[in-house]
Chain A
Amino acid sequence: MSDLTLEANGGGFQAKATLNDSTLSIVFSGSGDLNAIELLADYLKRVHEAATARTISLGHCDFRQLAFMNSSCFKSFVVWIDTVKNAAAPYKIVFLTDPNLHWQRRSLEALRRLAVSIVTIEIAQS
């Protein structure tokens, strides 16, 4: 049973976070494009606030259903990771990717380089 649920839905983009113990699991789906920019930026702020308030140790981001992400949505993740990196109690972030969505490998590798001690990329078995 989750202690918390955070959702965002609009413009062809969806995200749903659930908290179990100290892991915040977030499933992203749809497409992160021009229609999702503000929604995602606001959502990741709320995610960090919830993570900080509940002292989580891991933010697990499931990207397997996220078809695409533009540079503005990508930036929202940059801001989130940068915020976590500079937080008093930084938590780890894992991105679970679909190897058939090739953009994910390139984009998420760039996010990993931003904070190698925090960000890990997992590749789902196809």
Chain B
Amino acid sequence: MTDSSDGRACVLLTLSFEPLAEQIASLRSAVSDLCAPHIAAADELSRLLLATHELLENIVKYSAGGAAEFHLALERAERGLLLRLRTKNRALPERLRDTRQRLDALAAAPDPLAHYDEMIRESAGRHEGSGLGLARILAESEMTLRYQIEREELTIIAEALISERGQP
């Protein structure tokens, strides 16, 4: 999986690090500082930050040791800015199965918002975690989600087209 920029990038950030909970707020703040000058609407920036936060928490909670990757790209596209977030981390087999199930179900849902509402209702009875983090990225951040599993490594990619500041 490659991330090309071809000179279109407003922001391109790749981190490889051993994720810790206390790093999330400062990383989210850095993403805000880097992207805010380029994004037209405060609501779009808020969607980006929500997705950033949930993805970072995901790798903090579910990484099975070793370094994880966080990648952010904000690139000029034909109609606005293409925003791409990508995380990559080692995960335990049960976590990989759970993620696969959730993301496949989200992708297959004829009405993603209704599916999200159903997941919210089900989460009330869950004892471990919320199970809502990735769905929230799709439903509330309005980003597409895809994933790749290679051996024990999980890659999650969230994308959206957003408007560029100063452009009609």
Tell me the minimal C-beta distance from A79 to chain B in angstroms.
Answer: 5
In the complex, what residues of B have CB within 8 A of residue A111's CB?
120
In the complex, what residues of B have CB within 8 A of residue A82's CB?
121, 124
Which residue of the partner chain B has the closest CB to A75?
A: B130
Tell me the minimal C-beta distance from A66 to chain B in angstroms.
Answer: 13
Q: Which residues of A contact B (CB under 8 A)?
A: 12, 31, 33-35, 68, 70-72, 74-75, 78-79, 82, 100-103, 106-107, 110-111, 113-114
In the complex, what residues of B have CB within 8 A of residue A31's CB?
25
In the complex, what residues of A have CB within 8 A of residue B21's CB?
33-35
Which residue of the partner chain B has the closest CB to A67?
A: B25
> Majority SS of interface residues in chain B?
helix
**CA distance in complex: A33, B49 (Å):** 13
In the complex, what residues of A have CB within 8 A of residue B126's CB?
75
**Residue B133 is within 8 A (CB to CB) of chain A in the complex:** yes
Q: Which residues of B contact A (CB under 8 A)?
A: 21, 24-25, 42-43, 46-47, 49-50, 53-54, 57, 60-61, 116-117, 120-121, 123-124, 126, 129-130, 132-133, 136, 139-140
* Interface pair A34/B117, CB less than 8 Å apart: no
In the complex, what residues of B have CB within 8 A of residue A102's CB?
42-43, 46-47
* Complex partner residue of B140 from A72, A79, A106, A114, CB under 8 angstroms: A106
* Interface pair A34/B57, CB less than 8 Å apart: yes
* Complex partner residue of A113 from B25, B117, B129, CB under 8 angstroms: B117
* Interface pair B120/A70, CB less than 8 Å apart: no
In the complex, what residues of B have CB within 8 A of residue A71's CB?
54, 57, 130, 132-133, 136
In the complex, what residues of A have CB within 8 A of residue B61's CB?
34
Tell me the minimal C-beta distance from A60 to chain B in angstroms.
Answer: 22
